[in-house]
Amino acid sequence: MSSENKKFKVLVTHPEVSQEGIDLLSHQCEVIICQAAPPVLAEILEKSKGVDALLWGNNKPLSAAVLDAAGPQLKAISTMSAGIDYVDVAEVKRRKIPLGHAPIVMNNAVADTAVGLLLAAARRFHEGRLKIETDNWESGHRNWMLGQDVRDSVVGFFGFGGIAQSVAKRLSGFDIDSVLYTTRRRVSEDIEKEYNAKKVDFDTMLSQSDFVIIASPLTKETAGIFNATAFGKMKKTAVLVNIARGGIVNQQDLYEALKTNQIFAAGLDVMTPEPLPSNDPLLSLPNVVLLPHLGSATQRTRADMSATAAHNVLRGLAGEPMVSPAY
Ligand SMILES: O=CC(=O)O
């Protein structure tokens, strides 16, 4: 099909969106791709003008300004992420524009990252490396650098959706004792049975878990919920893992809790701000393992995310339900 015959224009807001999604769109649409990486809002606003759909390939705020710049013919939007905290969902809804996102395809990659962080934090990998770097390898001591066992542990999840369940599946291979989870809605009995999981309130999950894994969206209700009070309820031996959003944690309070050994360690793939400046106090702590938001960063996962987003856009343009609707 030549571009004149293509009915719809789609703007892809990042030049590094994997080719899989671009190819899918190109069969049926005229595809415009932003050139700036990292993305620049001015370019997005300019190129949005008159498009029928947006494949939002970055996590810049998707606000009313963008929707206004695009114009009233805008028929579909998809992000390429699971979390959509940077989207003004109320505004998109008000304009009755279908919005898609790309969860599920990233469950395995993010769960792998979570397990990696959990083991690294529990077994003090970062601190161990620092000991070598500073010539402090104390080979003569039996009880040096002891960590926390994963076997027989109680693993608590804050949020128990697809990513959390993929973590639970992996951890069942580590012979954990059981899973506690805190969510608004209970998951099915089958899922509870599969992971030996029980829904409990936030305080119970905090106080009874050996590992606490944050796997929930960032919302008004979850913002900063992991604060000094929450850390005060956790076991001194507990390990915190965050693969969701940095804003769910009060980072200053977490710093204090780790510094004063109120909790044992933390493994964070997400933080505030991102990128975290190299002089942030968190980097001075031996008991925190930090990753620069690598949860879904595998080639296959990114390709699957772009394909999901493209399918969402194509469905939205066809007036059909999206494969992964965000609401
Ligand atoms: O953080 C990544 C995502 O929400 O996809």
List the alpha helices (DSSP H) in 260-317.
Answer: 299-317
Active site positions, annotated: 293
Pocket of ligand 1 (CB under 6 A): 81-83, 106, 295-296
Of 57, 63, 90, 92, residue with least CA distance to 75 = 92
* Closest ligand 1 atom to Cα of 84: 4
Per-position pLDDT tens, the chain of length 327: 455 568 899 999 999 999 999 999 999 999 999 999 999 999 999 999 999 999 999 989 999 999 999 999 999 999 999 999 999 999 999 999 999 999 999 999 999 999 999 999 999 999 999 999 999 999 889 999 999 999 999 999 999 999 999 999 999 999 999 999 999 999 999 999 999 999 999 999 999 999 999 999 999 999 999 999 999 999 999 999 999 999 999 999 999 999 999 999 999 999 999 999 999 999 999 999 999 999 999 999 999 999 999 999 999 999 999 999 999
Q: What is the pLDDT of residue 1?
A: 46
Residue nearest to atom 2 of ligand 1 (CA): 81
- Please give the order of strands across the beta sheet that includes 239-242: 197-199, 178-182, 154-158, 211-214, 239-242, 265-268, 288-290
Mutate to test the pocket of ligand 1, among 14, 17, 62, 81 (most ligand atoms within 8 A of CB): 81
Mutate to test the pocket of ligand 1, among 294, 296, 324 (most ligand atoms within 8 A of CB): 296
CA–centroid distance, residue 82 to ligand 1 (Å): 5
CA–centroid distance, residue 6 to ligand 1 (Å): 31
Q: What is the pTM of this model?
A: 0.94
Q: What is the pLDDT of residue 3?
A: 53
Domains of the chain and CATH, by start? 8-103+299-317 (3.40.50.720), 106-290 (3.40.50.720)
CA–centroid distance, residue 55 to ligand 1 (Å): 15
